[in-house]
Amino acid sequence: MARVTAMNWRKSSRSKSGGNCVEIGQAPGVVGIRDTKNRDGGTLDVDRAGFAAFLAAVKADRLR
């Protein structure tokens, strides 16, 4: 997996100022997910196909 320092991180433009945000980091072959309140607390790293499937499920409201 890619090192966290090599990832290009970004926060959603829909995130509010309430502090309940996650950031997505991209590196070759991997997507990282981390909490904006605890950026040094670790990341959840998934391959791009897994992340794409997760996003599709969210958009289709299948995660209930």
pLDDT tens, residue by residue, 17-50:
777 788 999 999 999 999 888 888 889 999 999 9
Distances (CA, A) of 64 to 21, 49, 58: 20, 21, 9
Residue 2 has pLDDT above 50, yes or no: no
If we measure between CA atoms, which residue out of 48, 51, 45 comes closest to residue 6? 45
Rounded to two decimals, what is the model's pTM?
Answer: 0.74
Tokens coding 5: 């320092």
Domain-by-domain residue ranges, the chain?
Answer: 4-59
